[in-house]
Amino acid sequence: MALRRIIKELKDLQRDPPTSCSAGPVSDDMFHWQATIMGPSDSPYSGGVFLVAIHFPPDYPFKPPKVAFKTKVFHPNINSNGSICLDILKEQWSPALTVSKVLLSVCSLLTDPNPDDPLVPEIAHMDTWFPSSQALVL
């Protein structure tokens, strides 16, 4: 079932890719993808190109994919290993979600970080890491 779902999502992604994102399998391994995310223009990541690894578990879509940045990112919700603190990749995962929706959520996180649930608290509490951090960090 996982493979059938992954193939369907790949076709959907190729037909209607999310803005500023692309993704697909690495070699012939349908369970291991690489995504490319263009830094959102309304963020400090504008102009950046970010590589993201996506690993689907054998019981996908009942378990979330493992998603991690391969490109180093200075962000309160992404640690130095590339792990992403995003609820839909953990306890809020639903089989109704797709890779496309995950990529959109990751892009949204680049634009709107969540300093209230940081993976890297030191960054979340810095006043200079993000131009509008005064509005984000209390």
Identify whether 85 is a catalytic site residue.
yes
Domain total in the chain: 1
Burial class (CB in 10 A: 0-12, 13-18, 19+), 2: middle
Q: Judge if pTM exceeds 0.95.
A: no
**What is the overall mean pLDDT for the chain?**
90
pLDDT of residue 122: 81
pLDDT band, very low/low/confident/very high, at 133 (cuts 50, 70, 90): very low
CA distance 130 to 40: 14
- The two structure tokens encoding residue 118: 């940081």
Residue with tokens 């309160």, as numbered in its chain? 76
Candidates 67, 84, 85, 86; catalytic one: 85
Percent of the chain with pLDDT over 70: 91
Q: What is the pLDDT of residues 58-95, one digit of tens each?
A: 999 999 999 999 999 999 999 999 999 999 999 999 99
CA distance 80 to 102: 20
CATH of the domain at 26: 3.10.110.10
Per-residue pLDDT averaged across 94-104, rounded?
A: 97
Enclosing domain of residue 107: 2-136
pLDDT of residue 137: 37
pLDDT of residue 50: 97
